[in-house]
Amino acid sequence: MSTTLVNRKQKTITTYQITDSVIESFKELNKMFKQNDTPVSLGFQRLEKLSKKKRQKLEVSFLLKGLGQKEVKNFLESMTEKEYIEFKKSK
């Protein structure tokens, strides 16, 4: 198999030969970047959906109480969907 690359700026055409060993190397390399199948917690999903300002405000208030990001995620996870939507809309 071969592939051709056309560079219009430099006005060149380059053809590359793709061998079976290159394909196998690529497959092995691709295995390293396999998607992580572990589920993401609801608290983390909700934290990501918050605006940057709201997220910072929430994390700072928890840090002032001596609590970390894990507690923030647990707090968001414990909310019902209705409470979360109201919290998200609040200022």
Query: Is this structure's pTM higher than 0.85?
Result: no
pLDDT digits (tens, 9 = 90+) for 6-57: 989 989 999 988 888 888 998 888 888 877 777 888 988 998 999 999 988 8
Going by C-alpha positions, the residue among 39, 53, 50 that lies closest to residue 84 is 50
What are the residue boundaries of the structural domains of the chain, listed by start?
2-32, 42-89
- Give the distance from CA 83 to its chain's centroid: 25
* Helix, strand, coil abundance in the chain, percent, nearest 5: 60, 15, 30
Going by C-alpha positions, the residue among 37, 44, 48, 38 that lies closest to residue 70 is 44
